[in-house]
Amino acid sequence: MTSPAFKYPESAFAGGKEGTVGYQYRLLDDSGRVSVNCIYRSSGDAEIDLAVVRRVNVSVYYTLKGFDWSRDASRVYQDTQTLSWTAESRARTKSDENSLIGRLIYEPPLPPPYLLYKFEGAAMLRGRVNEAGAVDVVSMLRSSGDTHLDALAMASMLKYKFKPGEAFTFDRMFTFDYK
């Protein structure tokens, strides 16, 4: 399947929504153009479902070897597509560290309670910063292996403050070493 450039639905992205959509499609002609007949598994969000249908309807599927239009034209096929907020935010993450540092107002220190906890680990988190400069969504990319350390890292991530401006996402590794 080849697809044109795809734009994630803005309100779904802003709401951190994602999902998998199962659909049935049929070929429109022997060039591989398709049309969705029905959705048999909804993502639970109408905007994501509609985005998948629009994406599929402008896509071109490669026909299989041995495909015969006169014989196979009436067939209905099934497929699924997943729209993932995590994958989309990774694509939107600013790679320029200088622009991130230029907007940073407050970077919280690691909370001291972990020193008393006597466990070690590293948690990788992704934070979404809104237009006001506050972190409003935190997602766990990789757990430290300990729920207490993960909770400390997430609480710390929510305390970051940035200058107001365009919303963006950033990743942060929290390393907890007990010494």
| pLDDT tens for each residue of 34-54 | 888 888 888 888 888 888 888
Distance CA 45, CA 19 (A): 8
CA-closest candidate to residue 127, choices 137, 117, 118, 119? 137
Contacts of 49 (CB under 8 A, 6+ apart): 19, 21, 39, 42, 43
pLDDT in tens, 78-116: 777 776 655 555 555 544 444 677 788 888 876 665 555
Retrieve residue 57's tokens: 């309807």
CA separation (Å) from 43 to 5, 133, 167? Answer: 21, 30, 25
Q: Does the pLDDT of residue 165 top 60, yes or no?
A: yes
pTM of the model: 0.46
Q: What is the DSSP track for 57-69?
A: HT-BPPPPTT--H
User: Among candidates 88, 85, 87, 1, which has minimal Cα distance to 36?
Assistant: 1
